[in-house]
Structure 1
Amino acid sequence: MSLSRQFFTHRLIWLAVLVSAGIGALFARAIWTMRGEEWGFASQTNTNLVRTLETGLVWALDSMDKSLEGVAREVTQPDVWALTADLRARVLFDNSLRARGAGGVLVLDESGEVVLDSGSLEPRKANLADRDYFLAFKESGHQGLYIGRPVVSRITGVGILPLVRAYHHPDGRFAGVVVGVIPLSYLNDFFRALDLGKDSGVNLYRADGVLISRFPYGNSDVGRSIAGTPNMLRFQREGSGLFVGKAAIDGVQRLYAFRKVGGYPLIVNVAQSTETILAQWRRSAWVLGGFAALLMLASLGLALLFMRELTLRQKVSAQLREAEHDMRTIMDNMPSMIGYWDDQLRNRFANQPYFDWFGVTPARMRGMHASELLTPELYAAGKPYFERALQGEPQLFEHTIIDTQGMPRHTMGSLVPDVDEDSGKVQGIFVQVTDITDRKRMEDQLFEEKERERLTLQSIGDAVICTDARGVLTYLNPVAERLTGWQASDAAGRSIDEVKQLRCPGNDAPLPSPLHKAIQLAAPVENVRGVLVHHTSGQRFQVDETASPIADRHGNVTGAVAVLRDVTDAVAMAERLARLAQYDALTDLPNRVLLQDRAQQAIAQARRLGKALAVMYLDLDGFKQVNDTLGHALGDQLLVQFAQRLQRAVRATDTVCRHGGDEFVVLLPGLDGADPEGSACRVAHKILAALDAPFDLSGHMVRGGLSGGIALYPEHGDTFEELSRHADSAMYVAKRAGRLRFMLYRGRGQPPLAVQPSST
């Protein structure tokens, strides 16, 4: 802002402040003058009122006092007491009855008894010796008129103010008192003509501070003393005057105009609330003050608005210059060529990159036609886009140009029509040309990288599944399609739990998703084995799954990848190898390893339960002859069929084992301890009976035989090795004895016992 403008602005502000201050001072003076006039009027009025009240009260009290003096004088005359009651009342109370506001006159004797009553020829019975006025005369020797405390009359039951004079015997002794009564209601009626406003009224006090009347507040405070309060002290000290004070009874601030009531020990005041006195002035002051404030604010507001408008214009002008500079700076530093061409394709604006690309300064370009800037080939290639943009169609296109260095540059051109809102006519074109050479190169590199990744994922033998951070599927490779039964296009956008759900191999229960766990923990999840069910065929695959989170460069998890390896064949092979380790490959019977384990368990159980068991050793007779004559293949068939007949001949809890070649072992656990020999022999009979039918070896009917030996636990040994050795020795005895029989081991030094086939 220039110095001249600053000086002008400051002068305008000070002038507005001075004008506002002058308006405020004039109105403040007027308002204060009005207050003084209002206060003076109230002071004068209240002073006149209290003077008038004092005059009326003096007149009434004087009248009553004269009546009391007459009664006091007459009652001392003996002649008066000699008159009849009716005549005595006329003589004594004639003056008192003429007193305005008098409520009656009583004459009390020296003991306080009522002896004369202006209200009745027959005095009403009452003793008033305890009243303050009676005591004042009898005990204190008071002289003249005495004004007693306001009390409730014992005779009439109404509030009264007693005015009392004494009378005496001829020798000067106290004879009694004459009591004149002024009803308190008379005083209230006397003050009722005054309406001084809210919280205002008239008060009548005895000189000692006792409240006689407080109008218009009722009689609740009558008789209360305010002696010693600041207001009463001032009443007593000054006698008459005007001041502002706070009432001791209710705490309201009032303007007090007060006077002593003639020569009587009474004080009357007019107490008008300062709020009432100034109420009208305050209303006027608010109106005038509001108008003055409005004028002051208007004056300041106009000055501020003018200054604000001037400052705003200066600020806008500076902002426009700054914005133009900022825009030029930004445009010149943009990596794109930005310009504006009118509807004749003449340049109106161009930034610095135009010079870098075409070797022409933006200043020289102003007004230049597009054909003058571009080569004929480039102008011809861009002309169709210019024409469509001038027709109101935004254009976006890519083009390759050769810069001033002879280097090819890939560009992205954007043409945006500048359409007039009112007429709808195209006034020009906003042109932005961006060098996308680096982006093109990175896109090519990225495409090549993605292609390598795609080929890699399609070539590996494991299934690869990718999801976003919510577990929504984004990629399946061909192996994953084969295992899940989902095509990548159909699975995209679905939850991973819908496409792939691992199940427990043991009970087929759903397993927690390793991929979800990897996303939650933001850490790789180690190998989890489960069963994957094909979506359409229901085929079941044993798979090992690992999962790892995918994070951006800030460490935020953006997705996850799961790798599933088909281990169905490997699991089957492992299971087969595990079975081969315990079962005979030809007959599928338990081999010696499994037999040894089961035998040890059976012996331990028999020992614990007090049971018996038997071990049988069998040798297939004629097997070598079948191998030699029919070949090993049919010999193997003979072994398989013999194994099947053995399994059918024994219990499900028994174990049939191929011991090797044509030798077999049968383990019979859980035999009755009372007759184990009989149980074993019955099984031997069933085995021998199973050989009655010939074996069909691919059309060759062959009859078989066997030799067997039996050893019992615990009779013949308490270990499997010992039982096996004894059963084996019994079997060889059976072979030497003619075969097709079982021999039962009988103990060391005893020949085995032959078990013959049953007749059945």
Structure 2
Amino acid sequence: MHFSRQFFSHRLIWLALLVSLGIGLLFARTIWTMREDSWDYASRTNANLASTLERSIGGTLRSLDESLKGVVAGLERPEVMALPANIRNGVLFDNSLQVPGSGSVLVVDDRGDVVLDSSTLKPRQANFADRDYFLVFAKGSHQGLHVGRPVPSRLTGLYILPVTRAYHRADGSFAGVVVGAIRLSYFDGLFGSLDLGTGSRVDLYRTDGLLISRFPPHQADVNTSIAGTAALARLQADAVGIDAVDAAGADGTRQLQAWEHVGAYPLIVNVAQSSDTVLAKWHRSAWVLGVFSVLLMAGCVGLAMLFVRELLRRQAVSAELRLAERDRQTILDNLPSLVSYWDADLNNRFANSAYDTWFGVPAEQLRGRHCRELLGPSLYAMCEPFLRSALRGERQLFECTMVDKAGVLRHAIVSYVPDVDGHVVRGVFSQTTDITDRKRMEEQLFEEKERIRLTLQSIGDAVICTDAQGSITYLNPVAERLTGWQAFDAAGSQVDAVVCLHDPATGMPMPSPLRQAIQGVVQEVSVRGVVHHRTSGQRFDVQETASPITDRHGAVTGAVAVLRDVTEAVAMQARMAHLAQYDALTDLPNRLLLQDRAQLAIAHARRDGRSLAVMYIDLDGFKGVNDRLGHDMGDRLLVQFAQRLKGAVRESDTVCRQGGDEFVVLLPGLEDLEGACSVARKILATAATPFDLAGEPLSIGLSGGIAVFPAHGNTFEELTQHADAAMYTAKRSGRLQFMLYAGPGAEPRVIKQLLPEPG
């Protein structure tokens, strides 16, 4: 603990050391950035110098090359060579040969002798058959412009760079070379105009590594080669480049090199600047900044030590005071309330740490500040009357709301107790207790109760609540509508009197699901029954679900029942069941119901030894009615015909619409064939009367076929097939008649011929 106190008492020294270290790091970072900037600036400058030299040398070579091309073109034209010597030389060697740094242009024949001289009409005598440029052209191993090795001129003795092109005879054979020259002194003057500093140089290489010129000039270096070295590989790798190279200078110092290939010519210009020259200014700046940083770091540490010494002295003086205040503040800080004391002018004398939590103001910063500064204008305006009353010696207790430093709304109960000395009030003790949780619970309880009330008011089901004795405690509006009881009228009544379920089939009362839930028979009961309105007697089909209400100990305190009105659903279910077995247009039984009844009728006929008949009926000309009058009129005709069919048969018979204008009649329980024939004649008679279609009378015929059990088949499927075949025979035979199936291969017989009507 002693070590910890000693460490933290000297924390400013550690901070000063960290600041000093930061200054040192910042200095190092700054120096390094300055060095990088100096190096980048030199790189850009050297690249620009290399580019400038490339353009100057390239321009000179291009001008000289164009002149050489002109001389070659003139030499290969016989009409030019036939001109007088003075005119010929004027045409061949025009003013374009006045290229900076260039010498005379010589025309050498295929033996190496000078035959034409740009500087005089009488050519100077010399032979160049041993020169490298002459040899490569004579052997035919080179085309275009050739840049030779630097050599001393045989005419002037000056070092030159020969630039040559070959010319040819009319048959394409080698005729000689045209020799131009650039004095090496031209490159010395060009490179010497650059001030690159000590240890720097400018090189002009041929692309095969041959050194052509160097500045500062070293005559012994001319015609030396760097072929096969890493330096040449670096220069050949990129047309334009820049790099830092170690041990590149004569003294072995590091150099910054920037090079660029001279256009399309086999030359490379290289600018190499000494790193000492590049970084000379940086070295001076680094020394100045370094000395300043060391002084600044030492000053930080010294000031920190002086400050720590003064701080330790103050800590020693206030140690006893802090010890005395600690016990009091510890007690206040551990109270679950805001505790403070305000003098007669409402300036703070002390406060516990809870004020920091609520207002974001530590107790030390609050001391001496006016109450208005802490509470703010609006809250102070609310509390001021109570404070003034407390300063008059009256105890105050009230509730208020405020927003803490985190933006959270807090509810509090505030107590102001006057500090009375005799008859003088010296100040006010204030205690503020947070009751936010209690208020929140009250609000949540109210909101939950209101939400439940609105939910029960808004849902579409009836909700009924009872106590543990089965007495009604609540009805929602839907339950009032369903039962006919008002909530205030039903309150306290037994649930059996308000909601009594009846069996939908028998109408007898059913056990109350809500009573069963209260008695704990099941946790959740769901039944379907009928409820009758209290006053109107209106009948409602309902689905009732009841559940018990228990407290946290599991004891039943009541029950809640939910009644869902399913009257429409029940009606819809009955309607759907009816539509499943009856035709939607004519309300006649459909095929499914007909098959069920036919199977039952065949079983009874087989048991009783009786017979039954199946009739197939089709309206004649029904398609024409649809086409002429429309499908609506066709539907009316089908409905009217269905009603006439039902009137022509017995109650026990079944009339079915097979589809379209086809109908099937099932005649069970027949004694003999006469019963079926009698019904057939009645059906024919019903069709004889015109039908009324929207005031328009319409006569329509029908054709029918009959099959009898068991004579014509033992199953309903066989009977329908035979009756259908007989019906189609009736249609083909003239219609407006019934025919009886006569067996396989036999022609069906007409009913009236088989059994004529009596009389």
Fold equivalence (TM over 0.5): no
TM-score bucket of the superposed structures, by smaller chain: 0.3 to 0.5
Which structure has the greater CA radius of gyration? 1
State the TM-score, normalizing by the size of structure 1.
Answer: 0.43
State the TM-score, normalizing by the size of structure 2.
Answer: 0.43
